[in-house]
Amino acid sequence: MNDGLIDLFRHNAWAMRELLSVCQELTEEQLATTVPGTYGSIIDTLRHTVRSEGGYYRRLSGDEPAWLANDAPPTVAELIERSDDLESRWEQFLTTPFDAERSFIMPWHDGVDRDVPAGIVLAQAIHHGNEHRSQVATALTTLGVEPPGWGLWEYAAATNRAPQRPT
């Protein structure tokens, strides 16, 4: 029923894994790199991205990953584990129908609470990941590190969701 959403969330997990694999090779100094106009350092942006996705998942599913309660800053290796965990959780969540119009009360940046439908929370989970991966890619390029190709076409080719046609 949620097949199109499964592709979106599988791409999101694959793209994060690609980025984290590159970042796993960085030094602590490189991970601390910041670039104007981005969230923060590479490591802080990665931590924020994975933690936020865990929060979106918790809000929608009512299920809280144990690691979400851990305040200790995770390493890149731990972020890979958490991202893999989220991939499994989203897969499970998306195997059953859900009400995309179910409303959640969410505090807004201006201090006002808003009623936000589940469909918007799902869209935010995807958008948020894309936004911050792009910011990390910007920081990587300033270090002379080639960011991975994580676009949808790359994903479709790498995972055989777009197999080559026989000639």
Backbone angles phi, psi at 152, to 5 degrees: -65, -35
Q: pLDDT tens across 16-28, in order?
A: 999 999 999 999 9
Whether the pLDDT of residue 108 is over 70: the answer is yes
Beta-carbon contacts of 88 under 8 Å, excluding residues fewer than 6 positions away, are none
The pTM is what?
0.94
Whether the pLDDT of residue 2 is over 90: the answer is no
3-state class of 106 per DSSP? strand
What does the alpha-carbon distance between residue 104 and residue 114 come to, in Å, rounded to a whole number? Answer: 8
pLDDT for 3 equals 73
pLDDT for 4 equals 80
Q: What are the structural domains of the chain?
A: 3-158 (1.20.120.450)
Q: What is the mean pLDDT of residues 25-43?
A: 97
Percent of the chain clearing pLDDT 90 (strictly above): 94
> Side-chain half-sphere of 154: how many Cα atoms within 13 Å?
8
Q: pLDDT tens across 57-107, in order?
A: 999 999 999 999 998 999 999 999 999 999 999 999 999 898 999 999 999
Q: Specify burial of residue 96 (Cβ count, 10 A radius: 0-12, 13-18, 19+).
A: exposed
